[in-house]
Amino acid sequence: MDSTELIPRLTRKGESKIVFLIADGLGGIPGNRTGTELETAATPHLDRLARDGVTGLLAPVGPGITCGSGPGHLALFGYDPLETRIGRGVLTALGVNFDLGTDDIAARGNFCTVDEHGVVRDRRAGRISSERGAELSRKLRNIEIEGVELFVEPVKEHRFLLVLRGAGLDPALSDTDPHEIGMPPQPPRGRDESSRRTARLIAAFVEGARKALANERPANMVLLRGFDRLPRLPSMGERYGLNACALAGYPMYQGIARLLGMRVVECGPDLDSEVETLQSAWKEHDFFFVHYKATDSAGEDGDFDAKVRAIEELDRHLPPILALKPDVLVVTGDHSTPSQLKGHSWHPVPVVLTAASCRRDVVASFGETACAHGGLGQLPMKYLMSLALAHAGRLSKFGA
């Protein structure tokens, strides 16, 4: 038995409060600079946490494996990402509160820019505004495909949700997103007859989108990924006995929270709003997931300096969180997004955990190199939740 399966049997009720502050895409690589973005940033509060707590590195899935935000967040909350596979489409649907049926197929969509040869030049169409994304989503709703009902919902900026509803659909499809520029959108492929039929339906939608967006700029094409249908997972209340609350400005992370039974409290997309909402919800819950997106966005844009500034902004918001005196505070990321690579990477993510019961290590600053010498060592991310519960006094003894 893996210990992640054992933890639900050991959990016990308590009054302690746990905060997970997740800086999306936190980890980086030095490149041609003296350090990573985290090591370059001025982070007096994070460094203080490192001195007062215990640090280490987390592998979201496994050595050398680059993961998406979905698997990374599932691992953060103690759900094995290899056993619990959920397509990005489902998380997107839950994030915008779409009433997803158990037989529906959902996909995450990007409006993108292609050149006259159909080659992708910008996977995010310059991060168009949410208002423009909503306009374009309405255009895609006019696409008709025989035998299925289509739903297109705007999400945020260049992102949208596609849902297919009908009989005999199968989500075992490859992405149309090539996940890099310089290549055309890929044809959807299925692995058997039922999924190949669904692939043909998706191909028809993509062709319809190409025609509908032909005269638009910069968003003149779509990319689809993360096809899936709604799974059933035990909630964090069922699994850990926690009354969990999520503060996240981006819909996908709200979707992850809803999937795991967290209460999603409406807040703005910035840390000011999230911290204010955390303060107002403090008495009602005992677990808080606070999500910060700016670190990942800057990394994906390849902007080293912007990611440094985003990390410094995170650091400035730590004092009001610390003033709440959480029994356990964890600061980490769901994966690494080095600005030099302009995307997610396989590099382990630095983590710091503070609690009255933690065993301090020798680390005096919060950064990738320093955390490699931390007391937690390098461990799979899926074990972070059990460490947090233990430090919060929420786990009983195993065995006599």
- Per domain, the residue ranges of the chain are 3-85+234-391, 91-228
Domain 91-228, CATH among 3.30.1490, 3.30.60, 3.30.70, 3.30.1340:
3.30.70
198 sits in which H/E element: helix 193-212
Whether 91-228 and 3-85+234-391 are alike in CATH topology: the answer is no
In whole angstroms, what is the distance from residue 221 CA to residue 223 CA? 7
- pLDDT score, position 191: 85
What's phi and psi for 189, nearest 5 deg? -130, 140
Which stretches of the chain score pLDDT less than 50?
none
Which residues lie below 8 Å from residue 37, measured CB to CB, with a gap of 6+? 28, 295, 298, 299, 304, 307, 308, 311, 338, 339
pTM summary value: 0.84
- pLDDT score, position 1: 65
pLDDT digits (tens, 9 = 90+) for 5-32: 899 999 999 999 999 999 999 999 997 6
Domain 3-85+234-391 homologous superfamily, CATH: Alkaline Phosphatase, subunit A (3.40.720.10)
Beta strands (DSSP E) in the chain are 18-23, 54-59, 105-114, 120-122, 149-156, 159-165, 221-228, 244-247, 263-264, 287-292, 328-332, 349-355, 377-380
Query: Contact at 8 Å (CB) between 284 and 243?
Result: yes
DSSP 8-state class, residue 249? S
